[in-house]
A and B are shown apart, each in its own frame.
Chain A
Amino acid sequence: MIPATYIVTTLIGIFLFFLGKNRIKNICMNENKKPHSLNIYHGLFPAILSIVPPLILLSLWIICDDVIFDQMLKNRLPNNLIIEGKQTFLILLAAINNIADGIIVGEPERWMMDLAQKLIIWRGHSDSLISIITIICSFAFGLYALSFVKIDFRARNAVEKLIMIGLIICSLIAIITTIGIIFSVIFESIRFFKLVPIYEFLTGLTWNPEFEGAARAGSGQAGLSTYGSIPLFVGTFLISIIALSVSVPVGLLSAVYLSEYATKKIRGIFKPLLEILAGVPTVVYGFFAALTIAPFFRETGGLIGLDVASESALAAGFVMGIMIIPFVSSLSDDVIRAVPQSLRDAALGLGSTKSETIKKVVLPAALPGIVASIILAVSRAVGETMIVVMAAGLAANLSLNPLDAVTTVTAQIVTILVGDQEFESAKTLSAFALALTLIIITLILNFFALQIVKKYREKYD
């Protein structure tokens, strides 16, 4: 029913397209004048109006009707049923929906089957209703739009306006989704901070959510589980620093080589290779770090008398650095190549050597872009999870020693949310608080980095 409605609406639109086009053609022939807009726009205008708004309506309805059905089901649940908590109620509704979809597990109770039966009927009614409404709307809008088609109707401007509205809606979707995510993170975090004081979360030196239970949430008994996030942020900081100290120098220098020294042929080989490096899934880097690099570091450390943990910040940071190299080098390469040749000529014409030209003219001119590539590297490093989970361990040690096992914010979020969890518990909610703090920190970092870029940009171009 619904797919047919989509098709019918589209057909109506196509039909109106030709209707509009022919109509303007006839008008022109009769009046012997030229229309304001090309014929095609006179066809597009009714076509767009008869397709797009009705289909949006249809899609919204399909998304929303479940909510209404749930409400209706709720009112019809047997009175003698005892429901504990929101969770069980949701499960009940899901079960009825499943039965209606034909997924029957075991031997459901009689009243559930009845409700499912009702649900199927409602769905049928709802589908017919919305299909009829959609098709009527499609005709109505289309014919209304068609009535505009006249010799001096500015159809092109109207179509352009419709397209612009479409573009605005698309960009709004991205923005609204982001805002939605941020708000949900904020609200969940607020719930967390009702259970655990924000002060403890931000300044506590121990992270140990494991012994969570009713104790903390209910009786207010502290001491069983602790939510001091400092070790996680220190771990993130430590691993990111190690990753950056690998990726920034290597990436930048390889960018200089690629853009200034390499011949076309070598560049043609190197650049795609680097980009392949960027395409390797992080989980592959992860086991590379855990199975190859970490043991190697431990053995080498052992040879020179250093005590390296089998899962170390150094191993994870090092591999993460390798992973980020292509981001730094590829972007820096682009900005270095974007420095105008005239600046290089000027420097060479004054008798600079090639390396002087690069150091004193090209790199300073490319600095804003280079900083941007480093910002990108930082956010990759801070957000990277898989490598840490696999290679740095999950122990929330508070340590700045790169040879220790540490963990990071993102890795901790993963461990919290993997497997079964109670949605209401402080442990689960702590993931949101961590995410929120991480978002804020990255925002601040980006802000300052942009400030730096701005300052240098004023100076350099």
Chain B
Amino acid sequence: MTETVESIVNCKNVSVYYGQKKAINNISIDIGRRSITAFIGPSGCGKSTFLRTINRMNDTIDSCRIEGTVIVDGKDIYDPSIDVVPLRAKVGMVFQKPNPFPKSIYENVAYGPRIHGLASNKSELDDIVEKALKGAGLWNEARDRLDESGTSLSGGQQQRLCIARTIAVEPQIILMDEPCSALDPIATSNIEDLMSDLAKEYTIIIVTHSMQQAARVSQKTAYFHLGNLIEYGDTKEIFVRPKDSQTEAYISGKIG
């Protein structure tokens, strides 16, 4: 399955605990470079938790503990010598609820490049902002109102702003946790188109509750259930001929 595509994330025997509670149970998975991988599964099965192990966002939760190895681009990211700051610049994240900073649109996008020193002067920064906004498909709507607050945009625009903000630091991987759950069908389809575009350059991992969305955008799909990885394979295969009865039940709407 993974032979054709070079993999960028390799997880081996990963388990995640919140205090005593095991949320992820011994998962091993390889994720291909420059592709879209969808995580599906019923609510509470650990999709977000697993996604957040890939850029160590779980570090912000005190009770959270991780076992196993997660290798991103050849490096074990839980190795003590690894610094999370560059890791998170390399593995960006888009959240379920659009969360633009309460700053101007320009400042929202410029935030990442600024803290990482990606631009040496104002015009370089302008270029980065423009490129990111274009990449996120927001440039036409936002070019005349770059000074307005990011929170003044509509929900779908805000989510694209968050995507622009993420790609402005040029990550290799973008993690998206239900990025369309707060959006209407039109905004959703905008973002889906955007994802397909982005997948030419970036690796995208998306958590979604929408089977159709997973089927539309992803090349590979992973089905999670109660902290276990039940099935992982080509999206077409999974949706047409699921090997596992639980997967089939979920996809056909019997559980979840």
Contact = CB atoms under 8 A, between A and B. Distances in A.
Interface of A: 263, 340, 342-353, 356, 360-361, 364-365, 458-461
B57 A349 contact: yes
A347 B116 CA distance: 12
| A contact face: mostly helix, strand, loop, or mixed | helix
B101 interface: yes
A352 B86 CA distance: 9
Given A352-B115, A353-B85, A360-B115, A347 B101 contact: yes
B207 interface: no
Contacts of A356: 115
A345 B57 contact: yes
8 contacts: A346-B165, A349-B92, A350-B92, A350-B112, A350-B169, A351-B88, A351-B112, A458-B149
A277 B85 CA distance: 38
A346 B95 CA distance: 8
Given A263-B62, A347-B101, 20 more contacts: A340-B99, A342-B99, A344-B60, A345-B60, A345-B99, A346-B95, A346-B165, A348-B57, A348-B60, A349-B55, A349-B166, A350-B115, A350-B166, A351-B88, A351-B112, A351-B115, A351-B116, A353-B115, A360-B115, A461-B102
A350 B60 contact: no
Nearest to B59: A348
B99 to A, nearest CB: 4
B85 A351 contact: yes
Contacts of B87: 351
Interface residues of B, number: 29
Nearest to A264: B62
B191 interface: no
Nearest to A341: B60
Contacts of A460: 102-103, 149
Nearest to B88: A351
Nearest to A339: B102
Contacts of B86: 351
Interface in B9-37: none
Given A360-B115, A461-B151, A350 B165 contact: yes
Interface string B161-186: 01001100100000000000000000
A350 B102 contact: no
Contacts of B62: 263
B111 interface: yes
B97 interface: yes
A300 B13 CA distance: 65
